[in-house]
Structure 1
Amino acid sequence: MPVTSKVVIAIIVEAALFVVLLFGAAGTLEWGAGWAWMVLMFGGGGVVTLLLARNDPALLAERMRSPMQPDQPLWDKVFLVVMGVLWCAWLVLMGLDAVRFRWSAMPLWLASVGAALVAVSFWLVARVFLENTFLAPVVKIQTERGHRVISSGPYAVVRHPLYAAAAIMIPASALVLGSWWGLAFSVLLLAGLVWRTIMEERELVAHLEGYAQYTGRVRYRLVPFVW
């Protein structure tokens, strides 16, 4: 199947799943914040996809591959399944919280801050993808593509800028959707990102030439001057 067709199908399936989980839990389609978040997520994701299609179709093709691959560590397969379940539970929780039961009351200005942060996170995602052609969705060494250490652009600041962008996007999404419970639950998702960062670095240090030296030059994993 052509990559373009895979991308279109993936977007449609993902959007449908998000609508079912979010608005199904909310019990209504009349949720402005929910639709605003969908526009932000799929608008931002669409822009990044178009940039990849134009500038790095090989990476786009790589990211359309199965999330379960033969050369992928078992721990990463388990991680992706667990994170997928947590992500779905998170969306359901926010629909229940913000709309159906109205447990949370969040001021509008916080939702605006969240929307701005989601936009910033997608800008960073785009920068990262355009900088690193080896940014596969699974943990593996891509010897067939000449995998090498990338240390320019965002990678000169932190070693895992894509995870840093996700660490902004996740809590910001809870703000857009007006869910304090979603914001609290996002701590679990962030903990998962931190764990994968540590595990992925072990693989890279052990198997990617030059990565150990790179960690000596760029000290911080996710947050400059912090960690």
Structure 2
Amino acid sequence: MNKKLFARYAIREIMGLLIMAAALFIPAGRLDWPQAWAVLGIMLAWVAATAVVLLRIHPALIAERLGPHQGSKGWDGAIMSAVGLLQLMRYVLAGLDRRFAWSGIFPTGLQLGAFLLGAAGYALVLWATASNAFFSQIVRLQPERNQSVVTDGPYRWARHPAYTGAILFELAAPLLLGSWPAFFVSLFNIFLLILRTYLEDHTLQSELAGYADYAARVRYRLLPGVW
């Protein structure tokens, strides 16, 4: 493993966590906010576990994630830019909600359930990452790595399990933070993730050898029995 490459990856992930923390705590005007620390804890655990998976199982994915990304789709960049901005907006709104108490008091049971749902969501993303040697964060084919169809792990039941996990976290995070305005922003993000799932699946069926046959066997994109 190229140590400089991994250092770049680690710095990028740490910066993302710091930006997320700033978006939560600065608008809230306080650090004594257990729910925000819980959301950050889920993210930190996922980032750390993903780094372990990449180092031990799929080290080539570190270079893939850092780019450059030849053959990436223009629509993908637009969608993920919007997702990132909406996520930032969600945390700022949640912080302001914490300061001004727009949403009132959320039931403790609901927030505990949201914590478990969010943790389960990113556990599913991690499982998908560990199962897929071609798990890029950009929609593109990887002919230079001889990309093939992955059918192991959660891909046995759904074609895009990582999106399922991400959507679970999108639902859970604003509920854990106790903010209805943030929840409505998350709904927009969920729509964008479903749109990206559809477009990515169409791309793979058109361009990746064997994927159409896989799609005929595994019928559902996100949730078995639903879609």
With the shorter chain as reference, the TM-score category is: over 0.9
Aligned counterpart, 2:10? 8
What displacement does 1:61 show? 2.7
Which stretch of the first structure deviates more once superposed, 2-11 or 125-134? 2-11
Equivalent pair of 1:48/1:125 in contact (CA under 8 Å): no
For residues 124-166 of structure 1, what are the alpha-carbon distances to aligned partners after superposition, in whole Å with 9 as ceiling and x for unaligned?
1221111111111101010000111112221110110000010
RMSD after superposition? 1.4
* TM-score for both structures, normalised by structure 1: 0.93
For residues 61-85 of structure 1, what are the alpha-carbon distances to aligned partners after superposition, in whole Å with 9 as ceiling and x for unaligned?
322335xx34111111111211111
Residues in 2 aligned to 1:219 and 1:143: alpha-carbon distance in whole angstroms: 25
Task: Specify the SS of the correspondent of 2:220.
Answer: coil
Equivalent pair of 1:106/1:180 in contact (CA under 8 Å): no
User: For residue 201 of structure 1, what is the amino acid of its counterpart?
Assistant: D
Quick one: percent identity of the two aligned structures?
A: 35
Equivalent pair of 1:127/1:154 in contact (CA under 8 Å): yes
Residues in 1 aligned to 2:126 and 2:31: alpha-carbon distance in whole angstroms: 30
What displacement does 1:175 show? 1.9
1:103-182 matches, cutoff 5 A: 103-104=102-103, 105-182=105-182
* TM-score for both structures, normalised by structure 2: 0.93
Task: Specify the SS of the correspondent of 2:14.
Answer: helix
Runs of 4+ in 1 over 3 A off after TM superposition: none
What displacement does 1:195 show? 0.4
For residues 176-208 of structure 1, what are the alpha-carbon distances to aligned partners after superposition, in whole Å with 9 as ceiling and x for unaligned?
211122222211010001100111112111110
Gaps of 5+ in 2: none
Equivalent pair of 2:111/2:178 in contact (CA under 8 Å): yes
Correspondent of 1:48 among 50, 54, 57 = 50
What displacement does 1:44 show? 2.3
Aligned length: 224
Residues in 2 aligned to 1:38 and 1:161: alpha-carbon distance in whole angstroms: 22
What displacement does 1:172 show? 0.9
Residues in 2 aligned to 1:212 and 1:44: alpha-carbon distance in whole angstroms: 31
